[in-house]
Amino acid sequence: MLQLRIYSPTATTEPITKILRASPAVSALAVMTGVSVRPDGDVITADVAREAANEVIEELLATDVHKTGSIHLNDADNWISQAAFDAEELAPGEGSDAVVWAQVVQNSYEDSKLTWSFLAFMVLATLLASIAIVLDSQILVIAAMVLGPEFGAVAALGLSLIRKRASLLGQALRTIVVGYAVAILVTTVMVLVGRWLGWITADALEMPRPETAFIYTPDKWSFVVAIIAGIAGVLAITSQRAGGLVGVFISVTTIPAAGMIALGLAFGAGDAIRGSLAQLLINLMGMAVAGWATLLVQQFIWSKVAKTPLPRALHKRQNPTV
């Protein structure tokens, strides 16, 4: 169930209320007249079944209330309402699978912003990955993968193409390029400091490393894993199953590859740089392509679901949560 809170100028309150009243996916509706100060007007709240939220939001956008006022979307994780249960029964599809595009797009803009915190996590993750490679520690490699924040920006690449958002595409590309460049540069400097202190030697890179050799030796499985991770990641961020993102973080070799590139630059190891760069690009491209394809399929499926007419009445069935 999705909760809408709308700040509406008085002139748009009536058409908005008419839209919400007409939708059988709306289970609750309240209009608080004259309580909004900015904009000067009313506040409207409504509960909408997630499965039908896109159609309701599109109708609301046609009133231009997002330009003269604002629309807020919030997930109602827990609710007790027979009317809400009936609304979900009326709406085609399942709420946990529904893709609310307004939410997904806004979250992608937030997740793909080039911020100081994003750069900090990129640098810390890449530093940890370089230490993991020197120590040949698979545990530290996994920790670095989990710490990396880049998947949101990678997923935004496909979403920007599907939803035709050129600004999102530019923002995501800039964040990925600058994020990796800064992380590799800072890590290279720190490796050089470690080399100067005698903590890291060239021998550390030449020794056998059975736990971390996969980082700079990409193969066909690198692309396969990236494809699977991209699909799983997009499904996690577009549905209510965000827990799946953890599996995505620890399955792709992006941050570890960046850490190996930094080590290679510090010690002039050309083979390690080339292998790690190939690994990084393979994983990024695989996730981006898989994310785009998954979003394309989701958009096609939900466009068909949206065309399913909603019945105006439903045989009453007891809400099992009551």
Torsion angle defined by CA atoms of residues 227, 228, 233 and 234, in that order, rounded to the nearest 10 degrees: 60
The number of folded domains in the chain is 2
Quote the mean pLDDT of the chain: 86
User: How high is the pLDDT of residue 50?
Assistant: 85
Q: How far is CA 78 from CA 2, 38, 257, 306, 319, in A?
A: 11, 30, 42, 25, 13
Radius of gyration over every alpha carbon of the chain, rounded to an integer in angstroms: 24
Do 88 and 110 have their domain in common? no
Residue 321 within a domain: no
Residue 319 within a domain: no
Do 135 and 183 have their domain in common? yes
| Tens of pLDDT, residues 184-223 | 999 999 999 999 988 888 777 777 777 777 888 888 888 9
Which of 71, 98, 125 terminates a domain? The answer is 98
Q: How confident is the model at residue 311 (pLDDT cuts 50, 70, 90)?
A: low
CATH of the domain at 44: 3.30.70
Containing structural domain, residue 84: 2-98
Do 147 and 228 have their domain in common? yes
Do 168 and 255 have their domain in common? yes
Amino acid at residue number 95: G
Residue 82 within a domain: yes
User: How high is the pLDDT of residue 37?
Assistant: 94
Q: How far apart are the first and last CA of the chain?
A: 16
Q: How far is CA 69 from CA 31, 55, 59, 72, 122, in A?
A: 15, 19, 15, 10, 37
User: How high is the pLDDT of residue 312?
Assistant: 47
pTM: 0.84
Tell me: pLDDT of 226 over 80: yes
User: How high is the pLDDT of residue 316?
Assistant: 44
With residue 111 as reference, give the H or E element that holds it.
Answer: helix 101-111
| Tens of pLDDT, residues 128-147 | 999 999 988 888 888 888 88
Q: Left if phi > 0, otherwise alpha if psi is -120 to 50, otherwise beta: which for 224?
A: alpha
User: How high is the pLDDT of residue 77?
Assistant: 77
Tell me: pLDDT of 321 over 60: no
Residue 314 within a domain: no
Residue 34 within a domain: yes
Supply 50's token pair: 């997630």
CATH of the domain at 238: 1.20.1080
For residue 6, list its beta bridge partners: 44, 71
Rounded distance between C-alpha atoms, residue 143 and residue 183, angstroms:
16
Which of 98, 130, 153 terminates a domain? The answer is 98
Do 264 and 280 have their domain in common? yes
Do 116 and 253 have their domain in common? yes
User: How high is the pLDDT of residue 284?
Assistant: 92
Rounded distance between C-alpha atoms, residue 174 and residue 161, angstroms:
16
